[in-house]
């Protein structure tokens, strides 16, 4: 199962957080594997947050792609 | 998230596809292998293969953790269920065939088998139903293994134990790289496994096997970009390891998760359904956690089972040697409703993904004219 879905941390209490997957329904997720704060987006897999999603890196990815598409032959 | 739309942007996809066409022009057939069921889902669902020129082939390796669980481990789970232990597992594990029965069959015969969406749910059940014994059938690659490690390290209730089936992906990639009848020109490495293990485990592929390797995310643009990056490496005859999924994968991975994995598990050789024995490819609980090891707790260990049913070609599908449409049983005797092999059972199985997407048994996704 590689399926991991981004969710935004709405509240956090120790190892557990209430997150929003975009449906405005809050679900409980275990965040003991990540250093995340309220407002962060995390990748969630089977009820556990695996990594904090870096918005800067996401925007950087899009910027790099555009650069590749403009400049290379 | 706003950028999700850009990662699926059709215009952007056409431009990358055009770049791919240009760099692939006049090249021989190039075979790129991914090892992730979710990558196969994205590729098939978004018609990625229809955007690629005919000399670029993307094949699906053994990236479905449910598909490669050996029948012997399913048989062990069925045995636990038969003994009145509550067996908990993720959804598609329920229907994976054992040598004779699946867990669903056991459930139909009266065993208490329960689907959970998270290991946390199984732990809560064990805490609430103190008079029952529970086993969690822990399936999954390095993406899923840390959640089991978290719970074992937290000393769960004594009435739950674990049938550990967690496996590691890089050893399976190594098996493919060494197959004599399979020549790979590139690896698309699994993005979410990589959020945990980082980049280092893949270094051997460009360095020793000279196979360009790109860690990819799961949006259609991620896959297209990764194909393009591999082709660029091929053209320069300079294989290396690149990370396309920088928004999710740090080079060092998730060190907290890795530390937990090392604390809770040893790594042993293991049988993979369809692939045979792969060295150092499965997690097993360390001695100090043996009270949570279901095999030891109940004295159940089955060495061999019937991994491949008669007529089934899953062992060829999981290494990308044949497409699902090349299996005589595909969408005839073997369908999502009545699966014969594990590849048709799991949501990450290549056969099930194709069965749910193609319109007729013999028509693969249409290539461009």
Tell me the per-residue pLDDT of B266-283, one tens digit each, with 9 for 90 and over: 999 999 999 999 999 999
Task: Check residue B357 and give its pLDDT.
Answer: 87
Predicted confidence band of residue B304 (pLDDT cuts 50, 70, 90): very high
Q: Could you tell me which residues come within 8 angstroms of residue B46 by beta carbon, excluding any fewer than 6 positions away? A: B8, B220, B223
Angle, helices B37-45 vs B220-235, to 10°: value is 100
Residue B193 · residue B166 · CB < 8 Å = no
Report the range of poorest mean pLDDT among A50-59, B266-275, B354-363: B354-363
> Which positions 43-62 of A are in contact with B (Cβ < 8 Å)?
43, 45-48, 50-51, 53-55, 57-62
0.95 exceeded by the pTM?
Answer: no
Residue B235 · residue B250 · CB < 8 Å = no
Under DSSP, the state recorded for A36 is -
Domain limits of chain B?
A: 2-64+183-190+209-243
- pLDDT at residue B82 tops 80: yes
- pLDDT at residue B13 tops 70: yes
Predicted confidence band of residue B369 (pLDDT cuts 50, 70, 90): very low
Which residues does chain B have within 8 Å of residue A33's beta carbon, measured at their own beta carbons?
146-147, 150, 254, 256-257, 260
Predicted confidence band of residue B137 (pLDDT cuts 50, 70, 90): very high
Closest approach of chain A CAs to the CA of B142, in angstroms?
A: 9
Write the ipTM: 0.91
Task: Check residue B3 and give its pLDDT.
Answer: 53
Predicted confidence band of residue B368 (pLDDT cuts 50, 70, 90): very low
The pLDDT tens digits for B21-80 are: 999 998 899 999 999 999 999 999 999 999 999 999 999 999 999 999 999 999 999 999
Residue with more model confidence, B358 or B95: B95
Q: Which of A46, A59, A69 sits opposite B117 (nearest CB)?
A: A46
CATH number reported for the structural domain that contains residue A41 in this entry = 2.30.30.140
Q: Are B256 and A73 a contacting pair at CB < 8 A?
A: no
* CATH topology classification for B2-64+183-190+209-243: Rossmann fold (3.40.50)
Task: Check residue B361 and give its pLDDT.
Answer: 43
Tell me, rounded to whole angstroms, the distance of Cα B325 from its chain centroid: 20
**Overall average pLDDT of the B11-23 stretch:** 93
Tell me, rounded to whole angstroms, the distance of Cα B324 from its chain centroid: 16
**Overall average pLDDT of the B2-20 stretch:** 83
Q: How many domains does chain A have?
A: 1
Task: Check residue B5 and give its pLDDT.
Answer: 59
**B323 CB-side CA count, 13 A:** 16
Q: How many other β-carbons are positioned within 10 Å of the β-carbon of residue B104?
A: 17
Which residues does chain B have within 8 Å of residue A70's beta carbon, measured at their own beta carbons?
none
């Amino acid at each position: 199962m590689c399926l991991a879905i981004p969710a935004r941390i709405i509240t956090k209490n120790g190892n557990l957080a209430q997150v929003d997957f975009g449906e405005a329904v809050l679900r409980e997720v275990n965040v003991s594997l990540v250093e995340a704060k309220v407002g962060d987006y995390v990748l969630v897999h089977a009820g556990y947050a695996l990594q904090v999603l870096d918005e800067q890196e996401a925007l950087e990815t899009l910027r790099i792609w555009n650069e590749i598409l403009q400049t290379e032959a | 998230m706003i950028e999700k739309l850009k990662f699926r942007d059709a215009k952007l996809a056409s431009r990358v596809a055009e770049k791919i066409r240009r760099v692939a022009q006049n090249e021989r057939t190039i075979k790129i292998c991914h090892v992730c069921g979710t990558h196969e889902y994205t590729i098939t669902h978004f018609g990625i293969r229809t955007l690629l020129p005919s000399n670029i082939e993307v094949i699906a390796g053994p990236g479905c953790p449910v598909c490669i669980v050996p029948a012997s481990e399913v048989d062990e789970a069925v045995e636990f269920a038969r003994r009145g232990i509550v067996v908990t597992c993720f959804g598609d594990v329920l229907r994976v065939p054992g040598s004779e029965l699946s867990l669903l069959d056991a459930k139909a015969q009266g065993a208490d088998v329960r689907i959970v969406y998270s290991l946390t749910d199984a732990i809560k059940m064990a805490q609430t139903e103190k008079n029952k014994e529970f086993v969690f059938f822990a399936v999954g690659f390095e993406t899923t293994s840390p959640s089991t490690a978290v719970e074992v390290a937290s000393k769960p209730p004594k009435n739950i134990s674990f049938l550990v089936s967690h496996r590691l992906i890089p050893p399976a990639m190594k098996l493919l790289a060494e197959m004599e009848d399979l020549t790979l020109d590139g690896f698309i490495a699994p993005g979410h496994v990589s959020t945990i293990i980082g980049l280092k485990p893949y270094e051997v592929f460009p360095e020793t096997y000279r196979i360009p390797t790109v860690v990819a995310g799961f949006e259609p643009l991620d896959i297209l970009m990764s194909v393009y990056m591999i082709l660029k490496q091929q053209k320069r005859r300079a294989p290396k390891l690149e990370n396309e999924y920088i928004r999710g994968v740090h080079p060092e991975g998730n060190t907290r998760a890795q530390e937990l994995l090392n604390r809770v598990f040893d790594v042993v050789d293991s049988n993979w359904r369809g692939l045979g024995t792969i060295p150092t490819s499965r997690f097993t609980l360390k001695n100090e956690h043996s009270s949570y090891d279901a095999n030891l707790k109940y004295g159940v260990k089955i060495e061999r089972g019937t991994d491949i049913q008669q007529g089934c070609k899953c062992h060829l599908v999981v290494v990308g040697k044949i497409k699902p449409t090349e299996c005589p049983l595909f969408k005839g005797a073997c369908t999502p409703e009545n699966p014969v092999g594990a590849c048709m059972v799991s949501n990450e199985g290549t056969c099930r993904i194709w069965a749910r997407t193609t319109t007729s048994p013999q028509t693969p996704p249409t290539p461009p004219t």
